[in-house]
Amino acid sequence: MRFHEVGLRDGLQIESTVVPTDRKILWAEQSAASGLDIIQLGSFVHPDKVPQMADTDVLFRTLGPRKRGLNGPLHSGLVLNEKGLERGLACGVEMFCMGVSAGETHSRKNTGMSVDEALKRITAMAREAAAAGKIVQASVQSAFGCGFDGPIPESRVLDIVRAYLEAGIRAVSLADTAGHAHPAQVVRLFRAVQELDPGVETAAHFHNTYGLGLANVWAAFEAGVSTFESAFGGLGGCPFTKTAAGNVATEDLVHMFQRMGFRPDIRCDGLVELARDVARFFNRELPGLVYRTGPLDFTRRTDP
């Protein structure tokens, strides 16, 4: 399994207090030192719309691309349109994340385009990025329900995924932008995606709006999902959805899997300290839990 830290993008984009670039660099370095696999440094959006992302180009140029053959994390960036892709290519993005919302209202609020319009543009952008030798992951946002439109037909989600596959995209993420997902739905939808193409690499992105974040993560894992996106301290929320709520907290996610014997190589204590640093910066308690309680000591054993 792989862990994709999206705190610097999805975690911060809704925050009104703009985080200085040097502090973002520090948080990226702390994430990397903890052993996470992918770190999303930001999104290439207009700074007037999301001021928090105004320094995304600087972050990529400062931190530089991962040196192949070493154990450093992959750096990803989110793009919504051709201009964003152009900027990302210019500053050395290694992995492009792009997507289409399955909710018509959310799509128009987030991108100014209908679902069909966005799909045509995103698949064309994905081909261009792949032709440039970049890793591409395409997501279906609001895949499990839309804060504006309510339930989303699963057939619509699968139609978008099918278009991705036909465009040659092999990595697909389903994002619970509104936090409406429940475990049975998660299993059903991810298995349906895998039936379209058993070779597809699936990723899951859950928000904890109604307290089901980790339950949905486990359901996705049981359904064969290999990559999980989360944010330090549980920060985040799409500023263009109806009810914005935080992501699954990275330290909670890693702690859960480590209790079951997965990914002992990741430094959960480093993630906890990162979340505590973020909480100190914003001077408030964050939604995550483990950074407050501290992780369990898995090395301690009771006598049989």
* DSSP string for 101-139: ESSHHHHHHHHSS-HHHHHHHHHHHHHHHHHTT-EEEEE
Beta pairing partners, 146: 150
Tokens 């900027």 belong to which residue? 87
The predicted structure's pLDDT at residue 281: 97
Determine the Cα angle at 181 with ends 81 and 199, to 5°.
65
Of 125, 120, 142, the C-alpha closest to 85 is 125
Count of CB atoms within 10 A of residue 137's CB?
24
Q: Each residue's pLDDT tens digit in the chain (304 positions)?
A: 999 999 999 999 989 999 999 999 999 999 999 999 999 999 999 888 889 999 999 999 999 876 544 668 999 999 999 999 999 999 999 999 999 998 888 778 777 778 888 899 999 999 999 999 999 999 999 999 988 888 999 999 999 999 999 999 999 999 999 899 999 999 999 999 999 999 999 999 999 999 999 999 999 999 999 999 999 999 986 555 545 568 999 999 999 999 999 999 999 999 999 999 999 999 999 999 999 999 987 655 444 4
Q: How many helices (H) and strands (E) does the chain have?
A: 11, 8
The predicted structure's pLDDT at residue 300: 52
**CATH code for the structural domain at 2-293:** 3.20.20.70
Report the run of H or E that residue 229 belongs to, with start and end.
strand 227-230
- Whole-angstrom distance, CA of residue 41 vs CA of residue 24: 8
Alpha-helical runs (H) found in 47-81: 56-63
Report the run of H or E that residue 237 belongs to, with start and end.
none
**What does the radius of gyration of the chain's CA atoms come to, in whole angstroms?**
18
- Residue spans per domain, the chain: 2-293
Cα of first residue to Cα of last residue in the chain, in angstroms, is: 31
Determine the Cα angle at 184 with ends 182 and 186, to 5°.
65
The predicted structure's pLDDT at residue 246: 83
Alpha-helical runs (H) found in 51-103: 56-63, 82-90
The predicted structure's pLDDT at residue 188: 97
Beta pairing partners, 77: 42, 96
Q: Would residue 238 show up in a list of annotated catalytic residues for this protein?
A: yes
Candidates 97, 146, 238, 268; catalytic one: 238
Per DSSP, the three-state class of 62 is helix
